[in-house]
A and B are shown apart, each in its own frame.
Chain A
Amino acid sequence: MLAHLPILQVVLPLLAAPSCLIMRRPKLVWLFTLIVSSIAFLISVALLQQVMESGPISYELGGWEQPWGIEYRIDELSAFLLLIVSAVSTVVLLAAHTSIQAEIAEDSQMMFYVLYLLSLTGMLGIISTGDVFNVFVFLEISSLSAYALIAMGDGRRALWASYQYLIMGTIGATFILIAIGLMYQMTGTLNMEDLSRRLPDVAHTRTMYAAYVFFVVGVCLKMALFPLHLWLPNAYSYAPSIVTAFFAATSTKVALYLLIRFTFSVFDFSFSFSTLPLQPVFLVLGFLGIFVASTAAIYQKNLKHLFAYSSVAQIGYMIVGYSIATSAGLMATLLHLFNHSLMKSALFLALAAVMYRLSSVQLSCLQGMGRQMPLTMAAIVVGGASLIGVPLTIGFVSKWFLVMAAIENGLWPVAVLVLLGSLLAIVYVWRVVEVAYFMEPMPGKDPVKEAPWSILVPVWLLVAANVYFGVDTRLSVQIAQAAADSLFGVSP
């Protein structure tokens, strides 16, 4: 049983998805989905434990030896990501039933859970597989279900947002497919480890360069790296709140995982960073993302838009850490990846609570909510503080490591820019605080009650995690360190 964990992780939600169709009743389906996701979470904990103790796990699907069969490979990086995705998915699901009741029509609620599980399957699959074509398959599973989930949002704007994402996402996926095809043509293999052995022989051919560029652009589209982020704000804003909370914490992270996985484990590290001027390009794009998206966030009137732009900015931080191209930089990226999924899931889930009570997430609706919905607003404040990087929250930890990584490499301007970026975060978070706490409620509006416990509890679970991992950094730092070291081939 234990030996089969890598595949169970993926197969379980995949099989669970159609089973939902049998149950039909929303509450039952919700419970079932929650249980499946929890099991996935437990599996990921077990996998992480195994990996940290005894190194990477290789699993041969159907007993076919790699490189002929499909290999599932769990190393520190994938175990870390599996943990993040399954954990966030589980906590978000806790709130799903209540929130969905209010936002999605009764008869399509069951479909919601089916799609949710498929999307989860896709993400977990991308992370655990060691086969590049398998990556594409799972990428499509997660993307297609994502388009449908977003389209379940409110009204025609959701359809339009979903359509935008569909076009951009498909272009991205196609680019990745082209890259995979070219690689297969040159080497005749799809297994990642095998590829990494064979690619150096053909590294300096034009085909490989083309494959590499297609891959990077494709994955950056999926990751919403500035300036390829245009699909993201609308997709996040008009999707059902639960979907936003789940995707904001996971989907761009999975794309970032792909970037890291391919550039380090498939292509050779030195090839990745010397073929393209990856470092300057990513550094510039990362910072442009941080500053442009943060500035855009300041001017948003819709809170989901605001935090969506903030997500684009946070991707910028991760890319900056990545482009420092040292173990310390990569570790900062991974740490921020972990931390950011906690922040954004907490924030967007809190917005789900706001949506539940106010049926709107316009900033102006929040006037006076500091008193009417104190717990929800406090959650937004803590999440926002974490975004800024206030000490004792996780945001501080990741900024600290990022700045240190920059300084260690003599990149002082990078350190300064990272800190300046936080100033913009202060501005957009402060706007929310000011409206919620220092403005009187709009006249003529009935006072609202605090959000229901079924949403508040998961929100505060995530908020607590935001603080806990900001104080006790052992777990996150240790795993991120191990993952970064193993990618750089440093034995711990």
Chain B
Amino acid sequence: MTISLETMLQLCIILPPLAVMGLVATRNNPNVREAMTIVTGLFVLYLTVNLYAGISQGDVIRVHWLEIFPGLNLSFAVEPLGMIFALVASFLWPITIIYSIGYMRSHNEKNQTRFYICFAIAIGCVMGIAFAENLFTLFIFYEVLTLSTYPLVTHAGTKEASRGGRIYLGILLSTSIAFFLLAIVGTWFVAGTLDFKEGGVFGPETSLTVAGVLLALFIFGIGKAAIMPFHRWLPAAMVAPTPVSALLHAVAVVKAGVFTVMKVCVYIFGIDLLGALPSTQALLYLAGATVLLSSVVAMRQDNLKARLAYSTVSQLGYVTIGALLATTLGVVGGSMHIAMHAFGKITLFFCAGAILVATHKSLISQMRGLGRQMPITMAAFFVASLSIIGVPPTGGTWSKWYLLMGALDTQQWIIMAILMISSLLNIAYLLPIPIQAFFPGNEQTPQDAQMNEAPLPSLIALSITAVICVVLFVYPQPLYDLANAVAAVPGTDHGN
């Protein structure tokens, strides 16, 4: 049986929500239920890989669903940047499900069916965002993603959880409506179209001031990119169960944010226009400030998940910087960082969850000497930390390399300094954790020093992602090619 690429594209978006029905039907049989999610996940992965093969051969894959009114369409198309995002998300979904099986069961969480349902819907939205052909389509899935992840954030059902959920929903929805939607309407008014186009949609006669304001509205409106001061939702979302934090708040939701930023910068403004806008520089510094400040805040967190959350805020700033540098190298670096950071951060979150399940510890100060109990987990943590910091032999090296090159290329010395300092800060807040776990020093090691690893499924999942961090160092070519294809759109190849 052969399916056309267009059908595959639609299946990618439709399948995860369709799986919901199956999940509801099998809610009383957890094994079947989880098997079904994994199978769906693998199938979606298979489809995305096929789509990847398709665009590598130069096929054009487009699907048109609806026309709301002339010019405003619900339609999809595959392009390299979306491909990166879709591949990362569809690859990590089944892995996260494997991880969740270990985590949710040994944690005796309630409402597990709702958990898997919302997860599936969220992934469907991510696919919609990744393959959206225009801002309108992207916006719809962006909003549904927010709503479908709310039950996941408040999963615990406690007062604290619903408070976190309100902050989450409040910030994401209000920025998206007050700024993002306004920016979309403004773009429609100025450019007359919302389609993503290579080299941007604004004509040469567009006033720079207007476009500059629109850019600022976009950057602030895409709250999922967590640019300060609209980053508070991310730490607030940490009340969610760890698999949720792992996939959604290290990969799907936050990456949807920076992906949108990147997409808007490259395909709505185009990097030529972006470089000429009056507001770009200011926003670049704002992203830089976000990177630095949140790294500093991360250092002061004792709760591991909170530290990772602030670290995410900081790393998202990298991608935004990559986009706003308005140069090919920056775009390449930013696009690659979407994937690199995803693998690194999801591993870290997996580890945090594994530690929580195995030892019920969530504070870093209690994790001294944990390396003997949980060697695999802590080793994975170490590898992933290296990737986040950006040192060989991990994938994070490449993205940071290109980001630095981009900064160098545009002579943004301050940004360059920020990137360097931030890497040092990353070392300071990440590496001590595994080091102290393995070398607790003179202090007495805990009494119960026997092997006490996390549940097997969780362990498998976190090992896979940690290995991939290394693989991406050795074999970054496909990712680089995709990222390069994003940057090398016609009319934008300058400065290189």
Contact = CB atoms under 8 A, between A and B. Distances in A.
Interface stretch (A48-56, A289-297, A412-420, A452-460): A412-420
Interface string A419-450: 11011001000100010011000000000000
B185 A404 contact: yes
A407 interface: yes
Interface residues on B, range: 20 to 34
Interface string B51-82: 00000000000000010110010100000000
Contacts of B136: 391
B169 interface: yes
A331 interface: no
Given A400-B185, A407-B186, A422 B69 contact: no
A391 B143 contact: yes
Contact of A423 (B139, B143, B173): B173
B91 interface: no
Contacts of A106: none
Contacts of A437: 151
B149 to A, nearest CB: 14
A419 B173 CA distance: 11
A380 to B, nearest CB: 15
Interface string B145-162: 000000100100100001
Contacts, number: 54
B69 A473 contact: yes
B34 to A, nearest CB: 23
A464 to B, nearest CB: 16
Interface in A389-406: 389-392, 397, 400, 403-404
A423 B172 CA distance: 11
A404 B140 contact: no
Contacts of B178: 416, 419-420, 423
A144 B182 CA distance: 44
Contact of B68 (A408, A416, A423, A471): A471
Interface string B69-109: 10010100000000000000000000000000000000000
A101 to B, nearest CB: 34
Contact of A419 (B66, B139, B151, B181): B181
A473 B143 contact: no
Contacts of A389: 177
Contacts of B66: 471-472
Contacts of B169: 430
B188 interface: yes
A390 B189 CA distance: 20
A334 interface: no
B173 A426 contact: yes
Interface residues of A, number: 27
Given A391-B136, A419-B181, A473 B68 contact: yes
Output the residue of B169, B181, B189 with the most chain A CB within 10 A. B181
Nearest to A434: B162
Nearest to B186: A407
A390 B68 CA distance: 13
B75 to A, nearest CB: 13
Contacts of A14: none
B481 to A, nearest CB: 34
Given A391-B140, A438-B162, A419 B182 contact: yes
A420 B69 CA distance: 24
Contacts of B174: 423, 426
B360 to A, nearest CB: 26
B177 A419 contact: yes
A186 B68 CA distance: 49
A415 B214 CA distance: 14
B140 A392 contact: yes
B189 A477 contact: no
A178 to B, nearest CB: 42
A86 B143 CA distance: 35
A390 B141 CA distance: 11
B17 to A, nearest CB: 14
Nearest to B161: A438
A351 B41 CA distance: 39
Nearest to B137: A391
B150 to A, nearest CB: 9
Given A391-B140, A391-B143, A438-B151, A408 B189 contact: yes
Interface centre among B69, B72, B186, B189 (most CB of A within 10 A): B69
Contact of B188 (A404, A423, A426, A434): A404
Contacts of A473: 68-69
Contacts of B139: 391
Contact of A407 (B140, B162, B173, B189): B189
Contacts of A470: 68
A473 B68 CA distance: 6
Interface in B174-233: 174, 177-178, 181-182, 185-186, 188-189
B177 A423 contact: yes
Interface string A146-162: 00000000000000000
B63 to A, nearest CB: 16
B132 to A, nearest CB: 12
Given A416-B178, A426-B173, A404 B189 contact: yes
Nearest to A437: B151
A207 to B, nearest CB: 44
Contacts of B189: 404, 407-408
Interface in A364-391: 389-391
Contacts of B143: 390-391
A423 B185 CA distance: 17
Contacts of A415: 182, 185
Contacts of A472: 66
Contacts of A404: 185, 188-189
A53 B66 CA distance: 27
Interface string A285-309: 0000000000000000000000000
19 contacts: A391-B136, A392-B68, A397-B68, A400-B72, A400-B185, A404-B185, A404-B188, A415-B182, A416-B182, A419-B177, A419-B181, A419-B182, A423-B178, A430-B169, A434-B162, A438-B162, A471-B68, A473-B68, A474-B69
Given A392-B68, A419-B181, 9 more contacts: A391-B139, A397-B69, A404-B185, A407-B186, A416-B178, A420-B178, A423-B177, A426-B173, A426-B174
Interface of B: 66, 68-69, 72, 74, 136, 139-140, 143, 151, 154, 157, 162, 169, 173-174, 177-178, 181-182, 185-186, 188-189
Interface of A: 389-392, 397, 400, 403-404, 407-408, 415-416, 419-420, 422-423, 426, 430, 434, 437-438, 470-474, 477
List 10 tightest A-B contacts by C-beta distance, closest first: A391-B140, A473-B69, A407-B189, A403-B185, A423-B174, A422-B177, A419-B178, A419-B182, A419-B177, A426-B173
